[in-house]
Copies of this chain bind each other. A is one copy, B any other.
Amino acid sequence: MQRPYKDIIQRLQAVGLRPTRQRLALAKLLFEKGNRHISAEQLHAEAQSEKMPVSLATVYNSLHQFTAAGLLREVVVDAGRSYFDTNVEPHHHFYFEESGHLEDIDRDQLRLEAVPDAPEGMAVSRIDVIIRVNRSQ
Contacts and interface: CB of A to CB of B under 8 A. Distances in A.
Nearest to A133: B122
A135 interface: yes
B113 A111 contact: yes
Contacts of A114: 109-111
A99 B78 CA distance: 20
- Copies of this chain held together in the complex: 2
B110 A122 contact: no
Interface string A40-64: 0000000000000000000000000
Instruction: Give the most central of A82, A122, A127, A134: most B CB within 10 Å.
Output: A122
A125 B97 contact: yes
B109 A133 contact: no
Given A79-B82, A109-B116, 5 more contacts: A105-B116, A122-B136, A127-B132, A128-B128, A130-B130
Interface of A: 74, 76-82, 94, 96-97, 103, 105, 109-116, 118-119, 121-137
